Amino acid sequence: MKQVLCVANQKGGVGKTTTAVHLAAGLALKGDRVLLLDLDAQNNASSVFPEAASETDNDVFSIFNEGVSAKDVLRPTRIPKLSLLPSSPKLAQVDVLLSGKLDGFFALKEGLEKIMEDFDWVVIDCPPSLSLITMNAFVAANGLIVPLQVSKFSLDGIEAILEAKAATVKRYNPGLKILGALLTLYQARTTLSQTVVPMIAEHLRLFDARIPPSVAVEEAHLLNRTLYEYQPKNKASKEYARFTDEVYSLG
Ligand SMILES: Nc1ncnc2c1ncn2[C@@H]1O[C@H](COP(=O)(O)OP(=O)(O)OP(=O)(O)O)[C@@H](O)[C@H]1O
Ligand SMILES: [Mg+2]
């Protein structure tokens, strides 16, 4: 195992799922063994790999509910070396299930223990909240990646993530590091970008890759394809490949 990576931002619609999917697929295309873990009840990451996410009770919820190992619920995808641990609509129950339990923050980490030898990377797609589920991902991970859309509000959100990360490091997982922020839906030549990006960089290291807006992203999602499969020459696809290279070099 090289790293367990958590893609998180409590803000909705900033590109977490798109980033987790293309990082996981990109690392697998480089030949590493990758597990994509969908921790969002919305099921968006899993839906890109319908061949691995068919209806069954055997999903990520059983890790939280029954202490099942990730080994027993992961499935292969059409991309060689990429496995999926599919989401569950029942994930919404996890907060109630675990709240008050002393070891409630460690369920996911324990669920992942037996697969550590089988994979080089685990990439976790988090829900848009700093809930108990996201905290489980923070406890299980070594590296945190924060997708950010450039706006005044993205600045307001950074503080909450940094606080949650600091609390996790202090109490539960001293090994957790922020690898950096990835700018998504990024338009270079706007006044907004030129003003806000330096302000973001005061708080977080920025990856060099910056993902531009592209209709190909929505189209690929619609067709249950990754950008690498749908339009590899697209600018967003190339930037996701560049981002993958940056993360790979940290492995
Ligand atoms: N570079 C891009 N260009 C165009 N559309 C994009 C891009 N990145 C993401 N999107 C679209 O923006 C929407 C939100 O993206 P995504 O689902 O990845 O964000 P998210 O942070 O995971 O959202 P949520 O918080 O709901 O889980 C999706 O409809 C996605 O297709
Ligand atoms: Mg998402």
Pocket of ligand 1 (CB under 6 A): 12-18, 40, 42, 44, 128, 184-185, 211, 213-214, 217-218, 221, 236
Percent share of the chain, pLDDT over 70? 98
Q: What is the CATH number of the domain that holds 14?
A: 3.40.50.300
Range(s) of the domain holding residue 132: 3-245
What SS3 string covers the chain? CCEEEEECCCCCCCCHHHHHHHHHHHHHHCCCCEEEEECCCCCHHHHCCHHHCCCCCCCCHHHHHHCCCHHHCCEECCCCCEEEECCCHHHHHHHHHHCCCCCCCCHHHHHHHHHCCCCCEEEEECCCCCCHHHHHHHHHCCEEEEEEECCHHHHHHHHHHHHHHHHHHHHCCCCCEEEEEEEECCCCCCHHHHHHHHHHHCCCCEEEEECCCCHHHHHHHHCCCCHHHHCCCCHHHHHHHHHHHHHHHCC
Does residue 54 fall inside a structural domain? yes
Indicate the number of domains in the chain: 1
Does residue 251 fall inside a structural domain? no
User: According to the model, what pLDDT value does residue 57 have?
Assistant: 67
Does residue 138 fall inside a structural domain? yes
Percent share of the chain, pLDDT over 90? 84
Does residue 197 fall inside a structural domain? yes
Residue 184 Cα to ligand 1 middle (Å) = 9
Does residue 101 fall inside a structural domain? yes
User: According to the model, what pLDDT value does residue 59 have?
Assistant: 87
Does residue 52 fall inside a structural domain? yes
Residue 217: pLDDT band by 50, 70, 90 thresholds? very high
Instruction: Give residue-wise pLDDT tens across range 123-179.
Output: 999 999 999 999 999 999 999 999 999 887 788 889 999 999 999 999 999 999 999
Does residue 193 fall inside a structural domain? yes
User: According to the model, what pLDDT value does residue 56 have?
Assistant: 66
Task: Give the ligand 1 atom nearest the CA of 13.
Answer: 23
User: According to the model, what pLDDT value does residue 126 have?
Assistant: 98
Task: Specify the range with the lowest mean pLDDT, choosing from 60-64, 97-101, 150-154, 228-232.
Answer: 150-154
Instruction: Give residue-wise pLDDT tens across range 71-97.
Output: 999 999 999 999 999 998 899 999 888
Does residue 30 fall inside a structural domain? yes
Residue, of 242 and 101, whose pLDDT is higher: 242
Residue 12 Cα to ligand 1 middle (Å) = 9
